[in-house]
Structure formats: structure tokens, C-alpha cells
């Protein structure tokens, strides 16, 4: 059993647990700007989400190297960059709410949406080694990316993100046992 893939699966469980509360708290932070407990919890969830997200991406990175999947490898690296940048901007927004950062976040959401669509496509190549599960996971990434890219449907993104995380738990657990 590959321990790093097992950790990636555990991180996907964490993502599944925090995706909805993180979204709600992020939304509340915009309205409750002076509420210190909400800010602290939001910042903690951002840090946990960043670590978990990077561990999940590391799982895909390991798979891309083992299976020599260049597109998945490239999309994983791009995913790491966007995850770090978006988390950094979100972190700043919690600490220093501003219209400029909010506008930047909207542009980043569109970019994240496009990256998720391409990432979903790159996961399809795992089908040869891991069965149909990568296909379903990839499709959910594509749907999630499309929701984020449209902005006005982005509020539905966390629900699809929850389903995606659940499939990632299964996918990465299966990969950990296989490789």
C-alpha cells in the first residue's frame, strides 16, 4: 500500500467534511466583518483546506508519475499554484476585506473553473488502471469547474465539490491499495 496515496485519500475525507462549512463561513465573513470567532474559524478552515487540498493533489501527482500521464502531471502542478494563490487571496479577504481583493477572487474563480475543467479531463486517463471511477470523478470536476467559471452558479460548486471529494476518497484509496 502506498502511504502517500493513503494520506491523499484521508485528505479527501477532510475536504469532504469542510467544503460546505468552509463555504458558509466564507460567505458569513463577508457579512460579519467584525466577528472575530467567525474570522478565526474561517482562517483555520482555510489552512486545513489548503493542506488537505495539497495532499490530494500530491496523490494525483504520484499517480501521474507512476503512470506517466503528462497532462495529469501538468494539471496537478497548475492546480497546486491556483490552490495556493486562491487560498492566499481568501486569507487576505478574511483579514482585510476589500473590493479589489473581492474582484480578484471573482477572476480567480473563473480561472479555477477553467483549471478544474481541464483537470477533470486529465483524470480520465486514470480509467485504464483504476476502472470507471476516474471517469465519474473527472466529470464532477468538469461540472464543478463549469459552475465556478459561470460565477452566478458558483454557489452550487461546494455541493459538487462534496460529491467529488467523496469519489476522490474511493479513487485514492483504491490507488493506494493498487500501487
CA-based nearest residue to 126, from 61, 80, 82, 58: 61
* Coil, strand or helix at 171: helix
Helical pair 157-178 and 133-150, crossing angle rounded to 10 deg: 150
Residue 96, sorted as left (phi over 0), alpha (psi -120 to 50) or beta, turns out to be beta
Whether pLDDT at 30 is above 80: no
Show the domain range for 46.
3-178
Mean per-residue pLDDT over the chain, rounded: 92
> Quick check: 157 and 141 in contact, CB under 8 A?
no
pTM above 0.85, yes or no: yes
At 66-120, the pLDDT tens digits run: 999 999 999 999 999 999 998 998 898 888 877 777 788 788 889 999 999 999 9
pLDDT value, residue 99: 73
Give how many domains the chain has, as a whole number.
1
Amino acid at each position: 500500500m502506498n502511504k502517500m496515496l493513503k494520506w491523499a485519500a484521508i485528505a479527501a475525507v477532510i475536504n469532504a467534511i469542510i467544503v460546505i462549512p468552509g463555504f458558509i463561513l466564507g460567505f458569513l465573513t463577508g457579512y460579519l466583518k467584525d466577528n472575530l470567532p467567525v474570522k478565526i474559524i474561517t482562517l483555520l478552515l482555510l489552512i486545513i483546506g489548503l493542506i488537505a487540498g495539497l495532499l490530494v493533489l500530491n496523490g494525483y501527482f504520484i499517480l501521474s508519475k507512476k503512470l506517466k500521464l503528462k497532462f495529469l502531471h501538468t494539471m496537478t502542478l497548475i492546480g497546486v499554484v491556483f490552490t495556493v494563490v486562491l487560498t492566499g487571496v481568501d486569507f487576505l479577504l478574511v483579514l482585510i476585506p476589500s473590493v479589489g481583493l473581492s474582484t480578484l477572487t471573482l477572476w480567480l474563480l473563473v480561472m479555477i473553473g477553467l483549471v478544474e475543467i481541464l483537470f477533470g479531463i486529465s483524470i480520465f486517463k486514470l480509467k485504464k488502471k483504476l476502472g470507471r471511477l476516474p471517469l465519474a470523478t473527472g466529470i464532477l470536476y468538469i461540472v464543478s469547474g463549469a459552475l465556478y467559471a459561470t460565477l452566478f452558479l458558483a454557489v452550487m460548486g461546494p455541493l459538487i465539490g462534496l460529491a467529488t471529494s467523496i469519489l476522490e476518497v474511493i479513487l485514492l484509496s483504491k490507488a493506494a491499495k493498487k500501487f
